[in-house]
A and B are shown apart, each in its own frame.
Chain A
Amino acid sequence: MKHLRSIDELGHDGVVRLLELTRHMVEINARPVPKVPALRGKTVVSLFFEDSTRTRLSFETAAKRLSADTMTFSVSTSSVNKGESLRDTIETISDMGVDAFVVRHKSTGTPWQISDWTNASVVNAGDGWHQHPTQALVDCFTVRQALGVERFDGLTLTIVGDIKHSRVARSNISAFSMLGANVVLVAPPTLLPPDVAHWPVTVSHRLDDVLARTDILYMLRLQSERMSQGHVPNLREYGETFGLDAARAAKLPSTAVIMHPGPMNRGVEMLVDPSALPNSLIHQQVANGVAVRMAVLFDLLAGESSTAHLATVAS
């Protein structure tokens, strides 16, 4: 595997391999000096065509803890805005000597296009509504760690909210299903994609109906623009029907955990302070983000997925 573009491309064994590797990275991050020389001499470029300070910092921190050099491509000051084609941009940066691109773009498929135009590895940090594989790995790792299990057989993951426009949902449906979880989607029909019948999920339009059988409650962010697009009449009504408040939290089994990919919309999908919830994993999700991304970069550039064995120098 030269690239990490989607959970489906990664496959079950790849997911497990990266989750195991993440445990090493968690240990490294706990050291007084959380930095190892593993990727010395490698260059990682973050190409964020869409703002996401959290994800970008998470990747750049990961790269630096592995001693890779990092470059940030700033779209706002680049020639992309001067009509340069994406291909020309990629080829120009590649010529500077790049080992991995970390790509975030609002258009689905951009990481695949980019991987056709460069010899570097491509890591998808979110493409359109399509995939956000490192977030899914973070979420799986966080659940493994919190519940002390390796597989999720018998566990029910309930994803609530704007499934239609969510790359996090698409990646997590694949990843959690691979590890054995039952996945339930809860959303109004306007926030579901047109054809979910072939997905390995069950669908409900009523959150209250599924809380009691939920082991992992995953709240998605609702962007306010969904209101102007007519997906929901208003945010208050959305919160009333699909938001997590104290009464709904009380309906969850006592062992259930609560997750959110961030950033949270308090007062919309989160009507309760998550830090007041005993089983919130939201902070762990953020904390594990760096370790997972270290595992991904290491795997692609030095580990099992790397092409290091093709090097001509004899070991």
Chain B
Amino acid sequence: MSNMVMSVDDVRRAVTRIAHEILERQQGSASLALVGLQRGGAWLADAIAAAVHAIEPHATVPVGYIDVSMHRDDIGLRPVVPGAISRIDFAVDGTTVVLVDDVLFTGRTVRAAMEGINTYGRPRAVQLAVLVDRGHRELPIRPDYVGKNLPTHVDDDVRATQDGVIITSRVSS
């Protein structure tokens, strides 16, 4: 059974709010960088960057994308097939990197991304922005910016795109 829990407008408003919160917390866009997690976080990083630009037209916030396959902790437990290629063509040293992902679940992907970021340099700070936090964390990871907190069953499937967030329950009853 599928259920739309965020509409296209809900997503747009959440992105705008996250952009505001980031700027507010950083007190501006200087030395701020966004890194989307391949593949689900890439569009969201682009959307947040666009929202930041709409708020502060003179800001230039670099956006990168990181594929975390090589940093996963389940390598060796299942065949790992990398997705899109990482692209971070700015120096991360001294910046505040906001990792961006669509759905925060166990936290393992974010852990891998935090490790991955370190192969590019040493950021001043690393923060985390997600569109949906669906709970069931397996690691001590907490998002700094959340679009929506969404209680889910551990077996539910959550799809988050620009067009909305859909939750599909795999459990009958």
Interface stretch (choices A27-35, A87-95, A124-132): A27-35
**Cα–Cα distance between A187 and B85 once the two chains are bound (Å):** 41
Chain A residue nearest in CB terms to B72:
A38
User: B74: which A residues are within 8 A, CB to CB?
Assistant: 315
* Interface presence of B102 (CB below 8 A): no
Chain B residue nearest in CB terms to A313:
B77
Could you tell me if A38 and B71 are in contact, using CB atoms closer than 8 angstroms?
yes
Per-residue interface assignment for chain A, residues 199 to 219, with 1 indicating a CB less than 8 Å from any chain B CB and 0 otherwise: 000000000000000000000
Could you tell me if A24 and B79 are in contact, using CB atoms closer than 8 angstroms?
no
User: B121: which A residues are within 8 A, CB to CB?
Assistant: 32-33
User: A28: which B residues are within 8 A, CB to CB?
Assistant: 70, 86, 119
* Interface presence of A108 (CB below 8 A): no
Least distance between A153 CB and chain B CB atoms (Å): 24
Could you tell me if B77 and A36 are in contact, using CB atoms closer than 8 angstroms?
no
Could you tell me if A24 and B85 are in contact, using CB atoms closer than 8 angstroms?
yes
Could you tell me if A27 and B120 are in contact, using CB atoms closer than 8 angstroms?
no
Q: How many residues on chain A are close to B (CB under 8 Å)?
A: 29
Chain A residue nearest in CB terms to B68:
A36
What DSSP secondary structure best describes chain A's contact surface? loop
* Interface presence of A80 (CB below 8 A): no
Chain B interface size, as a band, is: 20 to 34
Known: A23-B85, A36-B71, A37-B71. A311 touches B120 (CB 8 A): no
Could you tell me if A37 and B76 are in contact, using CB atoms closer than 8 angstroms?
no
Could you tell me if A33 and B119 are in contact, using CB atoms closer than 8 angstroms?
yes
**Cα–Cα distance between A23 and B67 once the two chains are bound (Å):** 12
**Cα–Cα distance between A41 and B76 once the two chains are bound (Å):** 10
**Cα–Cα distance between A40 and B124 once the two chains are bound (Å):** 27
Could you tell me if A308 and B70 are in contact, using CB atoms closer than 8 angstroms?
no
**Cα–Cα distance between A28 and B76 once the two chains are bound (Å):** 20
User: B88: which A residues are within 8 A, CB to CB?
Assistant: 31
* Interface presence of B136 (CB below 8 A): no
* Interface presence of A98 (CB below 8 A): no
* Interface presence of B78 (CB below 8 A): yes
Least distance between A67 CB and chain B CB atoms (Å): 9
User: A38: which B residues are within 8 A, CB to CB?
Assistant: 69-71, 75, 80
Least distance between B24 CB and chain A CB atoms (Å): 31
Known: A24-B70, A27-B87, A41-B76. A36 touches B119 (CB 8 A): yes
**Chain B residues close to A by CB (< 8 Å):** 67, 69-71, 74-82, 85-88, 115-116, 118-121
5 A/B residue pairs, CB under 8 Å, sorted by A: A36-B70, A36-B119, A304-B79, A306-B76, A309-B79
